[in-house]
Amino acid sequence: MSVVDAAASVFCREGYAGANIDLIAAEAGVSRQTVYNHHGDKEKLFVAVVRDLTERCNAGIFATIASFPDQPTDLEADLVAFAVRMNRNCICNRDGRFLRKLIQAEGERYPELFAEWREQGPGRTWSALAARFARLAFAGHLSIGDPDVAARQFLALVNAELQITFMLGGMPTEEEVLRSATNGVRTFLSAFARKKSPAGKQAALVHA
């Protein structure tokens, strides 16, 4: 296990102040001196950890968004599968949980570092996801007012049942993820499904 990975684990478990370099070195399987040789001091190591996590998480999120169902065959099933991928690969995995916890615990101490994360992460992520939903709406699969709102609400809904588990840093089971995604997508589609009224076409136009 690399030094940065071990440091991520210890920083998350113990908090910045509670993390000690000896423990990180032991967990990484190297001597303390090597940690100092590679990363200078504790603060630099912490910054390296956050940058590393941010980068990997963003990569994962964009890779997953690339698998968004632009031409759905079964809209509900496709969106559920997408939500499950999102959760599994970006939100529930090691990097996602660690990054979230570090942001929550130490975000206020390193404003510029986390501002950077915020711009490159959620900022661009939500835009990208909103664009995909807008496309679905344009293609007539959904009836959406504001795509940005819809994207945020989609994420909120498919994670609605996992809040408590996240709060305590736990890892939800595959079954919990699936159930939360299924319930969330179902409600999302109830709200945003294309209107099937005689005036459906009109309604769709109004929202465009």
In the complex with DNA, the residue whose CB is nearer, 29 or 169, is: 29
Binding of residue 183 to a copy of itself (CB under 8 A): yes
Binding of residue 11 to a copy of itself (CB under 8 A): no
Which pair of tokens denotes residue 175?
A: 């079954």
Among 9, 58, 87, 159, binds a copy of itself (CB under 8 A): 159
Stretch that binds DNA, among 30-38, 72-80, 121-129, 189-197 (CB under 7 A): 30-38
- Closest distance to a copy of itself from the beta carbon of 14 (Å): 7
Stretch that binds DNA, among 21-29, 51-59, 142-150, 194-202 (CB under 7 A): 21-29
DSSP labels for the chain? --HHHHHHHHHHHHHHHH--HHHHHHHHTS-HHHHHHHH-SHHHHHHHHHHHHHHHHHHHHHHHHTT--SS-SSHHHHHHHHHHHHIIIIISSHHHHHHHHHHHHHTTT-HHHHHHHHIIIIIHHHHHHHHHHHHHHHTTSB--S-HHHHHHHHHHHHTGGGHHHHHTT----HHHHHHHHHHHHHHHHHHHBPP-STTHHHHHHHH-
Tell me which of DNA, a copy of itself, none is bound by residue 73, counting a contact when its beta carbon lies within the kind-specific cut-off of 5 to 8 angstroms. Answer: none
Among 13, 30, 81, 124, binds DNA (CB under 7 A): 30
User: Do residues 125 and 65 make contact, with C-beta atoms less than 8 angstroms apart?
Assistant: yes
Binding of residue 199 to a copy of itself (CB under 8 A): yes
Binding of residue 124 to DNA (CB under 7 A): no
Binding site for a copy of itself (CB under 8 A): 13-18, 100-101, 103-108, 114, 118, 122, 143, 145-146, 149, 152-153, 155-157, 159-161, 163-164, 167-169, 183-184, 187-188, 190-192, 195-200, 202-203, 206-207
